[in-house]
């Protein structure tokens, strides 16, 4: 009888997972779906079990999006701060889901709120990762006018992550929205310059430029397919990759 084979060695040892707020929304129209948070936590715990050091950032679009409220007439700075606070709510929800699975987790916020989260301190974040804790970065960069994409790129570089894993609702990077255009072309591999020149909506241009300057690869994949996070980290041909 064939013995059970161990899991292949992870391709990356330290990753930053970029989640949208909408990912936590599930099939609901607003807020956090506990079942979806639990499913994401389960996939993160699988990475953790492989010995991968996992950090995450999460958006706040399921609660409030700064650009949207600004377009509706609210002051942009106020709207952005509201969006940052929404990301803290999502980070706490994800932390709760992870700790229910026995994964020790720390939330670090760029806006100080010591009663609910640690302040972001780079060395402390790295130490948490080295001790096997998942670290969730909340409140973006702490500054208005910067997206959670930019926050993800910045935090990934600060902690020495080897890759950004961007979870989306589609299978990778397309030349147009595949949800609107069934003939949209999927790119399996792109350079940073190609993403910028083609105006592809992978991450915002500031985030892509930061990754390009620091040669930090970005893998874009479909979060809705169960097991994709683990597959990407194990080196499977899943999603699209942006690199030099």
Residues 91-126 have pLDDT tens digits of 999 999 999 999 999 999 999 999 999 999 999 999
Q: Enter the tokens of residue 195.
A: 């993403």
- 């194990």: which residue's tokens? 234
Higher pLDDT, 52 or 244: 52
Higher pLDDT, 192 or 71: 192
Report how far residue 39's alpha carbon sits from residue 127's, in angstroms, rounded to the nearest whole number: 26
Q: What local confidence, expressed as pLDDT, does residue 4 receive?
A: 54
Q: What local confidence, expressed as pLDDT, does residue 27 receive?
A: 84
Report how far residue 205's alpha carbon sits from residue 147's, in angstroms, rounded to the nearest whole number: 10
Q: What local confidence, expressed as pLDDT, does residue 200 receive?
A: 93
Give the H or E element holding residue 159: helix 148-159
Report how far residue 72's alpha carbon sits from residue 49's, in angstroms, rounded to the nearest whole number: 45
Indicate whether 1 pLDDT > 50: no
Cα dihedral sign for 16, 106, 116, 119?
negative
Query: How many C-beta neighbours within 10 Å does residue 217 have?
Result: 16
Q: What local confidence, expressed as pLDDT, does residue 29 receive?
A: 84
Q: Which distant-in-sequence residues (6+ apart) come within 8 Å of 206 by Cβ?
A: 146, 147, 149, 150, 153
The Cα-based distances of 184 to 14, 48, 170, 175, 240 in angstroms read: 32, 35, 11, 6, 14
Top-tier CATH class for 14-243:
alpha beta
The Cα-based distances of 186 to 49, 75, 174, 241 in angstroms read: 32, 38, 4, 11
Q: What local confidence, expressed as pLDDT, does residue 64 receive?
A: 85
Q: Are 67 and 59 in contact (CB under 8 A)?
A: no
List, for residues 28-72, the tens digit of each pLDDT value: 888 999 999 999 999 999 999 999 999 999 999 899 876 676 677
What residue ranges do the domains of the chain occupy?
14-243
């Amino acid at each position: 009888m064939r013995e059970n084979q161990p899991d292949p060695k992870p391709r990356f040892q330290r990753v930053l997972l970029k989640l949208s707020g909408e990912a936590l929304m599930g099939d609901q129209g607003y807020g956090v779906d506990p079942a979806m948070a639990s499913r994401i936590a389960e996939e993160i715990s699988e990475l953790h079990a492989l010995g991968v050091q996992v950090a995450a950032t999460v958006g706040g679009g399921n609660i409030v999006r700064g650009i949207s409220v600004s377009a509706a007439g609210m002051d942009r700075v106020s709207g952005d701060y509201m969006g940052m606070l929404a990301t803290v709510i999502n980070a706490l929800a994800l932390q709760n889901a992870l700790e229910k699975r026995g994964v020790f987790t720390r939330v670090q916020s760029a806006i100080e709120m010591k009663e609910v989260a640690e302040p972001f301190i780079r060395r402390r974040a790295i130490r948490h990762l080295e001790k096997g804790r998942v670290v969730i970065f909340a409140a973006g960069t702490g500054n208005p006018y910067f997206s959670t994409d930019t926050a993800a790129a910045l935090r990934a570089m600060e902690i020495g992550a080897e890759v950004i894993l961007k979870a989306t609702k589609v299978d990778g990077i397309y030349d147009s929205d595949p949800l609107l255009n069934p003939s949209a072309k999927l790119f399996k591999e792109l350079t940073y310059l190609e993403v910028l020149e083609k105006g592809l909506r992978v991450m915002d241009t500031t985030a892509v430029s930061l990754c390009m300057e620091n040669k930090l690869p970005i893998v874009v994949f479909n979060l809705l397919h169960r097991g994709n996070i683990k597959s990407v980290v194990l080196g499977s041909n899943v999603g699209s990759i942006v690199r030099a």
